[in-house]
Amino acid sequence: SAVISQKPSRDICQRGTSLTIQCQVDSQVTMMFWYRQQPGQSLTLIATANQGSEATYESGFVIDKFPISRPNLTFSTLTVSNMSPEDSSIYLCSVSLAVRGGYTFGSGTRLTVV
Amino acid sequence: QKEVEQNSGPLSVPEGAIASLNCTYSDRGSQSFFWYRQYSGKSPELIMSIYSNGDKEDGRFTAQLNKASQYVFLLIRDSQPSDSATYLCAVEGSSNYQLIWGAGTKLIIKP
């Protein structure tokens, strides 16, 4: 399985600012996913990050709010822009190493917007 | 809309007993099924995968899959307090192979 380094692990940010979350994988992967998890809730997929093309966003999430970069097959960033308290959540990156192989997750970023 | 349903719990089980967690799904074409364990404040961890009808055992964990009835179970034998966590069921969608997640079942093992 892959080892994923995600940072920062947590941050407290002022409303109106932006935070960029980084995800580094120890092997090349085709698909990387960004999730959000509210306290006590399940996982909500924000977008799929594709190397060499635009990210694919799920309903309710837009590129202006959550821009994603995927410069190579081992790295991706998610930016949470113009933050409001409603953006307070845990953000997780994950990768799929193979079809039917399930996903591996980074350790998560706990974001609090004040 | 493809869905995965789980009882939210909490499910309380005495230490040493069998914990039974269930999950139903709507996508009849799904072929891959996963159970994840998530401790509070941690990220999900894959504990079981199953692809064929029947049982798959790994230590104290057994996954049971019935594609005709569209359910997948997770059984935990000899439950330990360290098994207390939220268990997420995930099903690979037949159209795009992305995982569809259940809401999770919170399991509490009482000493």
Q: How far apart are CA A75 and CA A32, in angstroms?
A: 9
Do residue B43 and residue A43 have CB atoms under 8 angstroms apart?
A: no
How many residues can be counted in chain A? 114
The answer to whether B97 contacts chain A (CB < 8 Å) is yes
The answer to whether B104 contacts chain A (CB < 8 Å) is yes
Query: Does B70 have pLDDT greater than 80?
Result: yes
Query: Does A106 have pLDDT greater than 90?
Result: yes
Q: For position B96, what pLDDT does the model report?
A: 78
Query: Does A49 have pLDDT greater than 90?
Result: yes
- Minimal Cα–Cα distance from A85 to chain B, Å? 19
What is residue A85's three-state secondary structure?
helix
Q: For position B35, what pLDDT does the model report?
A: 97
Pick from A1, A96, A107: CB nearest B43: A107
Q: How far apart are CA A59 and CA A46, in angstroms?
A: 8
The answer to whether A105 contacts chain B (CB < 8 Å) is yes
Query: Does A77 have pLDDT greater than 90?
Result: yes
Query: Does A31 have pLDDT greater than 80?
Result: yes
The answer to whether A57 contacts chain B (CB < 8 Å) is no
CA end-to-end span of chain A:
37
Cβ contacts of B31 on chain A, cutoff 8 Å: 100
pLDDT digit string, tens, across residues B28-64: 999 999 999 999 999 999 999 999 999 999 999 999 9
Best probe of the B interface among A100, A109, A111, by most B CBs < 10 A, is A100
A41 pLDDT tier (thresholds 50, 70, 90):
confident
A33 pLDDT tier (thresholds 50, 70, 90):
very high
Task: Give CA angle at B11 (B59, A93), nearest 5°.
Answer: 70
pLDDT higher for B41 or A97? B41
Pick from B43, B51, B101: CB nearest A42: B101
Average per-residue pLDDT for chain B: 94
* Mean per-residue pLDDT, B14-34: 96
Cβ contacts of A42 on chain B, cutoff 8 Å: 88, 101-104
- Minimal Cα–Cα distance from B104 to chain A, Å? 6
Q: How far apart are CA A78 and CA A67, in angstroms?
A: 6
Q: How far apart are CA B43 and CA A10, in angstroms?
A: 13
pLDDT digit string, tens, across residues B4-16: 999 888 999 999 9
pLDDT higher for B8 or A45? A45
The answer to whether B50 contacts chain A (CB < 8 Å) is no
Query: Does B1 have pLDDT greater than 90?
Result: no
Q: For position B3, what pLDDT does the model report?
A: 92
Pick from A43, A100, A104: CB nearest B101: A43
Nearest by Cα to B49 from B67, B66, B62, B68:
B62
Chains A and B form CB pairs within 8 A to the count of 42
Q: For position B104, what pLDDT does the model report?
A: 95
- Element (H or E) spanning A45, and its range? strand A43-50
Q: For position A36, what pLDDT does the model report?
A: 97
B3 and B25 in contact (C-beta within 8 Å)?
A: yes
> Own/partner pairs for B23-26, CB < 8 Å, 24+ apart?
B23/B71, B23/B72, B23/B73, B23/B74, B23/B89, B23/B91, B23/B102, B24/B70, B24/B71, B25/B70, B25/B71, B25/B72, B25/B89, B25/B91, B25/B100, B26/B1, B26/B2, B26/B70
Q: For position A53, what pLDDT does the model report?
A: 82
Side-chain-side CA neighbours of residue B9 (13 Å): 24
